[in-house]
């Protein structure tokens, strides 16, 4: 069972195919991928599956509105794992989708025990990050809200809840506290919000595979309650493992990643200590070759810090042949990461006031 609130990786790599079959997630076929080559997450097959992505392209072809919806729990700063979704959102906005971005402070209270007031600084920080990634905040292109302050999502929660039973929630999520079930119903409101505000339109929600229970619940309730609405779609990306070798990047494990407002010295230290796919020693590496598919240095570059596909492919091949050693590769990665983070933090510092404005926080 997939657990969207779990602190460890919900599935092993070999289980992704089984999960796709079991829950009806479609592959990103080559036809779709060819339309999305400008987006490195599709091009590099980091995004591996979808629900109803074709409806977005139909809307684009017919010059009809469509939306991209996602959000973040304001339980701490952005880290490498959470930033994947944010970067996908920016790419979808460039394709013409209006962004609906939720600060999930109700879920943060239920899951992490963080009060709404204490969540505000994190919310400002999170929104400043996605602005620094390139989100256009103009009202025609973006709507940002906090769950605790948005009456529509609470109203939707109450409306659809009459269709929900305890057995239904147990089947989707397993046995949880009722507060988490309530947070899941609030998320239904978040995902349906674009169509409630602006009428029926395709809505795509970029998520990791662990968040699919929320998508399935929302699609089922939309089908039964909002019969004229499009069923919300989704894209699914592979979860990035912890750079320290742990199963998953998580705020609960600070060594598994680094945050986007972390001290550069700390970031450098973590990257230098990241798990690699190297062998026991230089001789064995040269004889047997490395294992870049296990290497977090390679994966960090692939997901976030290397735009050039040819460089990535060359490094993969040289690693497999034993020609690229871990020390050399780490040094290059450290340089790329620190340059990116220094630039990002400088941009972000200038966007705090805009983040406050979008959230309605004085």
Residue 307: beta bridge partners? Answer: none
pLDDT at 54: 95
pLDDT digits over 2-28, tens only?
A: 888 875 545 677 788 889 999 999 999
Residue 203: beta bridge partners? Answer: 67
| Structure-block tokens of residue 189 | 């409101």
Angle, helix 16-23 to helix 212-225, in steps of 10 degrees: 10
pLDDT at 239: 87
Residue 99: beta bridge partners? Answer: 68, 142
Instruction: Please tell me the pTM assigned to this model.
Output: 0.93
Q: At the top level of CATH, which class does the domain 13-242 belong to?
A: alpha beta
pLDDT at 345: 97
262-349 folds as Tyrosyl-Transfer RNA Synthetase (1.10.240)
Q: How far is CA 261 from the centre of its chain?
A: 18
The answer to whether the 13-242 and 262-349 domains have the same CATH topology is no
Helix boundaries (H) for 177-302 = 178-198, 212-225, 264-272, 282-288, 296-300
pLDDT at 81: 85
Among residues 128, 115, 31, 141, the alpha carbon closest in space to that of 86 is found at 128
Q: Where are the domains of the chain?
A: 13-242, 262-349
Per the CB < 8 A criterion, the answer to whether 334 and 258 are in contact is: no
Given a cut of 50, the residues of the chain with pLDDT beneath it are 9
pLDDT at 8: 52
Cα–Cα distance measured from residue 74 to residue 147, given in angstroms and rounded to the nearest whole number:
11
pLDDT at 10: 54
């Amino acid at each position: 069972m997939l657990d969207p609130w779990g602190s460890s990786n919900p599935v092993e790599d070999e289980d992704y195919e089984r999960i796709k079959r079991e829950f009806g997630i479609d592959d990103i076929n080559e036809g779709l991928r060819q339309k999305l080559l400008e987006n490195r997450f599709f091009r590099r097959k980091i995004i591996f599956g979808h629900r109803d992505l074709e409806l977005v392209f139909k809307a684009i072809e017919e010059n009809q509105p469509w939306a991209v919806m996602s959000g973040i729990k304001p339980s701490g700063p952005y880290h490498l794992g959470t930033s994947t979704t944010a970067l996908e959102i920016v790419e979808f906005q460039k394709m013409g989708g209006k962004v609906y971005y939720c600060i999930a402070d109700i879920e943060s209270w239920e899951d992490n025990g963080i009060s709404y007031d204490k969540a505000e600084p994190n919310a400002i920080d999170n929104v400043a990050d996605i602005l620094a990634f390139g989100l256009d905040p103009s009202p025609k292109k973006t709507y940002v809200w906090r769950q605790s302050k948005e009456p529509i999502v609470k109203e939707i929660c109450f409306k659809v809840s009459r269709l929900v039973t305890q057995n239904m929630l147990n089947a989707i999520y397993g046995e949880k506290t009722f507060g988490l079930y309530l947070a899941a119903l609030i998320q239904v409101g978040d995902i349906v919000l674009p169509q409630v505000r602006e009428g029926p339109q395709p809505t795509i929600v970029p998520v990791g595979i662990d968040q699919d229970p929320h998508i399935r619940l929302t699609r089922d309730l939309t089908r039964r309650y909002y019969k004229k609405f499009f069923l919300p779609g989704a894209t699914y990306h592979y979860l990035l493992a912890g750079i320290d070798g742990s199963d998953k990047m998580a705020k609960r494990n600070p060594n598994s990643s680094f945050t986007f407002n972390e001290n550069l010295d700390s970031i450098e230290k973590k990257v230098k200590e990241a798990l690699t796919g190297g062998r026991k020693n230089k001789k064995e590496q040269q004889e047997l070759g490395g294992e870049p598919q296990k290497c977090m240095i390679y994966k960090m570059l692939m997901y976030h810090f290397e735009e050039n596909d040819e460089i990535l492919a060359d490094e993969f091949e040289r690693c497999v042949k034993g020609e690229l050693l871990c020390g050399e590769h780490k040094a290059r990665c450290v340089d790329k990461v620190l340059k990116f983070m220094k630039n990002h933090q400088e941009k972000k510092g200038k966007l705090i006031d805009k983040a406050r404005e979008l959230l309605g926080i004085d």
